Structure 1
Amino acid sequence: MDLTTSYLGLPLCSPVVASASPVSMTLDGVRACADHGAGAVVLYSLFEEEVRAREVADLLLTEAHEHSFGEAQGYFPEAPTVSFGGARPYLRHLERSAAAVDVPVIASLNGSSPGGWTSIAASMESAGAAAIELNIYAVPGDLTVDGRVVEDRHLEILAAVKAAVSVPVAVKLSPFFSAPGAMALALDAAGADGLVLFNRFLQPDVDVEAQRVRPGATLSVPAEARLPRTWIALLHRRVRASLAATTGVESGDDVVAYLLAGADVVMTASALLRHGPAHVGTLVDELSAWLDRKGYASVAAARGVLAVGADVDATAYERAGYVRALRDAQGRYGRLPS
């Protein structure tokens, strides 16, 4: 069975990709994902805030020594930089990971402001990143900020990083744009090599007894795959960029569903956190068994079989699906409000 695929112009041995998560925070975790059949590994994210905090700590250490005696100048701390100061531990791990496995290692950069991205991205490329995933996690708390400002920020960051590196660059998107399809097309036109659909914003809960906000992360479930799968089916063959699916991947069937919608690769993090890196092998085996059972000789043959055709009116198609779903539900549950 031919499980090979291409993502961001990189040849991969399988379409199952380990997404950014704590699994890739250790060299053993990266190796385990690759050994069990991951086509690529996205390292855990380097956060903009983490880099800044490390730089402040380095700066304070430097200032504490600036009035030392001349004899002490031999151990005077090296001045921090954006490229190799706060990002240094991540870059070391990236370099070791890229050297340890035979699959592409993709660096993940998480932030929301334009400053600092280009130098860090260039450092990631130098450390051996096969590609860079921009996780632009921006939730506008200022209610007066216009949606166009948020969209322009994404395009600005993408343009700056693309100008600074020669490796492919993917953008991990939020599903909460007023027009996600238009944003995807704009990023594609601006040179994004890949689009990752979708980012999951970590939404806090409320502890009603303690009467306080309770932060926390929850792992995704298969039902959450419906939204990204819908947009992947619409974008397939409508963008030049590679399409990566993420969220709600628990079994081989979830991988298959995304591929049928038109995804080039299917990323998973929650399933690996639940079951360990060896679960990559389970997903790959279940995908292979499904392809064989359905008579497909390759992943490429199954990709996009259920995507929305390029000559189809996508708006009418989605509207028809909405109406059909309501009618089916009415037959099962009785008349529902539209």
Structure 2
Amino acid sequence: MKMDLSTQYLGLTLPSPVVASASPLTGDLANLRALEARGAGAVVLPSVFEEQVLRDQEILEALLDHGAESTGEALSFFPPQISESFDTARQLALVEEASEALDIPVIASLNGVTLSGWIDYAQEFEAAGAAAIELNIFLIPSDPTVSSAEIEARYTEIVRAVASAVSIPVAVKIGPYFSSPGAMAAQLVEAGAKGLVLFNRFYQPDIAPATLSIEASLKLSDPYEGRLPLLWTGVLAGRTQASLAATTGVETAEDVVKFLLAGADVVMTTSALLRHGVDHMGTLVEGLSAWLGARGVNSPDMIRGRLSHGQIDNPEAYERANYIRVLQGYRPG
């Protein structure tokens, strides 16, 4: 039986539904080639951060202003820290190189919370050959005076502005903490999002009692963390016009299968690749193919969404009734 893992995501045709999401690994062209060779359906490049964009703008202004009072012969004046600037230029070069070198879609990523610089860079990514753009809106509403409506309006404003500025599809990576994720999804789609990536893992600091300090650390995700995106993938599947990408907790081929059954169009992985290396992409894709083949299934389309909220006989499994049964049925020890 011939296996066809091809998948539609954001209107793009991918050779498989397993995607390497943004990480340090995807910032290297050799790694990108290796991921493609091992079956990745697409790659998301490391994010350009809003802070980098603002820093570039500050340095450019310093370049323009520096030495303005000097004579025309003073051509060797340069502002300090020039060697640390223009990270975004290197990112644009990576987009161009990867788009030329790979046959799979190359997705550029922008990470921030305001409109500053995003439209210009989105257009430059498109010009450099990106097949799509992923907006990673990393916003922690730490100001208690800012309402949920204001936060939601900022999300939709960003998506609308970027989506209207480019002709390539735009996906938005969001967190799970909206009061109504389904309604928020509808607003983002109305604003122009062609895809939703569920979910962003927000930075969560720790406290070190011994030093009385806040510690910044990154803990790679584990499969248990996949329960939350699995829930909302299953709830939203078939209820939104946007493509659905599931991410977080994707460690094994079985995790990929779970998300496809819930209704994901693609399944993204970061932590597993960082933990095991780029060869793990082959393990995931081959494992998915083996799982499908063992059941006489020759395409992910044949299982996609079979266990989503709208397709199962007991949709309460996604709802409060099941929550009550789980709690009441638990027995200590």
TM-score under structure 2 length normalisation: 0.92
| Structure 1 segments of 4+ aligned residues over 3 angstroms from their partners | 310-317
Where in structure 2 are the equivalents of 1:4-43 lying within 5 Å? Answer: 4-43=6-45
Alpha-carbon distance, 1:294 to partner: 2.0
State the match for 1:99 in structure 2. 100
State the match for 1:80 in structure 2. none
State the match for 2:246 in structure 1. 245
Alpha-carbon distance, 1:90 to partner: 1.1
Whether the 8 Å CA contact 1:197–1:243 is kept in 2: the answer is yes
Q: What is the root-mean-square deviation of aligned Cα atoms in Å?
A: 2.1
Q: Deviations over 1:162-202 (max 9, x none)?
A: 11000000000110111111101211222210000000001
SS at match of 2:33: helix
| 2:183 paired with 1:171 | no
Hey, what's the Cα distance between the residues in 2 that align with 1:91 and 1:49? 16
State the match for 2:213 in structure 1. 212
Paired residues, what number? 325
Alpha-carbon distance, 1:145 to partner: 0.2
Whether the 8 Å CA contact 1:251–1:283 is kept in 2: the answer is yes
State the match for 2:255 in structure 1. 254
Q: Deviations over 1:35-66 (max 9, x none)?
A: 11100000001000011112223332332232
Whether the 8 Å CA contact 1:55–1:85 is kept in 2: the answer is no
Alpha-carbon distance, 1:316 to partner: 8.6
Hey, what's the Cα distance between the residues in 1 that align with 2:128 and 2:263? 32
Where in structure 2 are the equivalents of 1:28-177 lying within 5 Å? Answer: 28-72=30-74, 87-177=88-178
Alpha-carbon distance, 1:115 to partner: 2.6
Could you list the runs of 5+ residues in structure 1 that have no partner in the other structure?
Answer: 78-83
The structure-2 alpha-carbon separation of the partners of 1:225 and 1:72, relative to structure 1 and needing over 3 Å to count, comes to same
Could you list the runs of 5+ residues in structure 2 that have no partner in the other structure?
Answer: 79-84
Whether the 8 Å CA contact 1:8–1:193 is kept in 2: the answer is yes
SS at match of 2:192: coil
Whether the 8 Å CA contact 1:55–1:86 is kept in 2: the answer is no
The structure-2 alpha-carbon separation of the partners of 1:262 and 1:316, relative to structure 1 and needing over 3 Å to count, comes to closer
Hey, what's the Cα distance between the residues in 2 that align with 1:119 and 1:333? 57
Whether the 8 Å CA contact 1:45–1:109 is kept in 2: the answer is yes
Q: Deviations over 1:61-111 (max 9, x none)?
A: 3322323322456x898xxxxxx9663221111111111111000000000
Whether the 8 Å CA contact 1:48–1:110 is kept in 2: the answer is yes
Identity %: 53
The structure-2 alpha-carbon separation of the partners of 1:162 and 1:209, relative to structure 1 and needing over 3 Å to count, comes to same
Hey, what's the Cα distance between the residues in 1 that align with 2:153 and 2:98? 33
The structure-2 alpha-carbon separation of the partners of 1:313 and 1:122, relative to structure 1 and needing over 3 Å to count, comes to farther
Alpha-carbon distance, 1:151 to partner: 0.3
Where in structure 2 are the equivalents of 1:186-335 lying within 5 Å? Answer: 186-309=187-310, 318-329=319-330, 332-333=331-332
